[in-house]
Structure 1
Amino acid sequence: MNDYIFDVDGTLIDTEKMYLLPLHKTLRANGYNVSYDDVKKVFGITASDALKILGVKDVEAVRKQWFDQIKNYKDDAKVYDGIIDSLAKLHADKNNRLAIATSKIEDEFHRDVTRFGLDDYFDAFVFSNEIKHGKPAPDLILKGIEKLNADPKATIYIGDTIYDLQAAHAAHVAFGLAGWRTKKTADFANSDYYFETPADLLTIGTLAE
């Protein structure tokens, strides 16, 4: 049995501009002297954690301003080329089970993912409002393992950030780097797999071998 758990942002869907352009605009409007590169560094973790790392004092107020603007950038999000074909093939193999474990809350998931039909290829979903600690803690992935009734030795978490790698290894599962988004630099030397394209997901064979 192969159990695949996927991150969403930067892995299945290119949502960088949809999230970070309004975040950068909101921070600047609130007097925070941050660059776009600064906000890129916190991409992929929960909104509250990202704002805390960026030094925001009134996290909830800024978060609301930020999220009120995201709808204006929805057209900037797109599914990465090759993702749907690879997910369809993985899902069609009855030996595989697929889950999503994302820093999004459920409402954000439906706004960003359901509209692309990606949820049709998954057997389970984990949202950040279901767990206590976001990435790099292992909670999201451990909940995914629980929902799939998975064997950690036969499980891989596919993501695009250092937080994803740290969370996967904290959960004692393999980590696959989404190379269509993130190149394998020294920061990702401990990745168990490097997938240059989504099609490479189909080449790893049985994980527990």
Structure 2
Amino acid sequence: MNNYIFDVDGTLIDTEKMYLLPLQKTLRANGKPIAYDELKKVFGITATDALRMLGVKDVSAVQKQWFSQIKDYQNEAKVYPGIRETLTKLHANSHQHLAIATSKIKAEFQRDVVRFGLDRYFDAFVFSNEIVHGKPAPDLILKGIEKLAADPATTIYIGDTIYDLQAAHAAHVAFGLAGWRVQKTSEFANSDYYFAKPTDILAIGDPESSRSH
């Protein structure tokens, strides 16, 4: 592989509790108590799509309440072990190019990714406000391919949800499952790669020369 496009939430950064705890609190305050395990099923897609899937009627108002509370849970977010090492080595190879394609908007990206310094490893970024359809549609990944001027045949999208898998295959690129967050159940049987830990990604890379800085 020469082109690596990454999801963010649940792949690079563990943001599950940062998002879902305030979501659960917000829904409960609006008379819609939902178990945490049920909320996990909408993790990784846009907030608007998630709220619609949960049956929320006034999506705009509830989303505003939800997002106003996320700041109180920022300490719950952390970079997964092995991610920095993996990104450092991928970025160092001049034959390899990296992009992020995320359901986040740019402001969320600044809050959740830039503060950890992960943005420096990437050549391109795609946010949800740049495309028409969120995952499982292929739009995010297709835009990432466009920005990298990448060949889909040598491109992989790495993520942690069934929506990521479906989006990758709809974009005609390989899908790598982030096994440090989820197990390869039957739901992910069509995954092209299963990475138990982030550094396993390095095994499919181009071994040629490193970048000079």
TM-score, normalization by structure 1 = 0.98
1:66-125 C-alpha deviation (Å, 9 max, x unpaired): 000000000000000000000000000000000000000000000110000000000000
Q: Distance in 1 between matches of 2:71 and 2:33?
A: 24
Q: In 1, distance between residues paired with 2:182 and 2:35?
A: 20
Structure 1 residue runs of 5 or longer lacking an equivalent are none
| Aligned equivalents of 2:29, 2:54: Cα separation in 1 | 14
Cα drift, residue 51 of structure 1: 0.1
User: Aligned equivalents of 1:204 and 1:149: distance in 2?
Assistant: 20
Task: Give the deviation of 1:204 after TM superposition.
Answer: 1.1
Aligned to 1:167: 167
**AA at the equivalent of 2:181:** R
Instruction: Return the offset for 1:141.
Output: 0.1
Summarize deviations over 1:136-176 as a string: whole Å, max 9, x none.
00000000000000000000000000000000000000000
Which one-letter code corresponds to 2:89 in the other structure?
K
CA RMSD, 1 decimal: 0.7
Task: Give the Cα separation in 2 of the matches to 1:42 and 1:14.
Answer: 15
Alignment of 1:66-77 (within 5 A): 66-77=66-77
C-alpha displacement of 1:205 = 3.5
Q: Equivalent residue of 2:132, what SS?
A: coil
Which residue pairs with 1:156 in the alignment?
156
The aligned residue for residue 122 of structure 2 is: 122
- Residue identity over aligned pairs, in percent, reads 77
What CA distance in whole angstroms lies between the structure 2 residues aligned with 1:127 and 1:35? 29
Deviation at 1:34, TM superposition (A): 1.1
The aligned counterpart of 1:63 is 63
CA distance in 2, matches of 1:117, 1:147: 21
What letter corresponds to residue 129 of structure 1 in structure 2?
A: N
Give distance in 2, aligned partners of 1:205 and 1:82.
16
Q: Give the 3-state SS of the residue equivalent to 2:57 in structure 1.
A: coil
Is the aligned partner of 1:181 residue 2:181?
A: yes
SS at match of 1:65: helix
Does the 8 Å CA contact 2:178/2:195 hold for their aligned counterparts? yes
Give ranges in structure 2 of 5+ residues lacking alignment.
207-213
1:41 aligns to what SS in structure 2? helix
* TM-score, structure 2 as length reference: 0.96
| Shift in Å, 1:37 | 1.0
Hey, what's the Cα distance between the residues in 2 that align with 1:25 and 1:153? Answer: 43
Matched letter for residue 121 of structure 1: Y
Match for 1:60: what amino acid? Answer: S
* Corresponding residue for residue 20 of structure 1: 20
Aligned residue pair count: 206
How far the C-alpha of 1:33 sits from its partner, in A, is 2.8
2:147 is matched with 147
**Deviation per residue, 1:38-58 (Å, 9 max, x gap):** 111000000000000000000
The whole-number CA distance in structure 2 between the counterparts of 1:170 and 1:105 is 22
Aligned to 2:91: 91
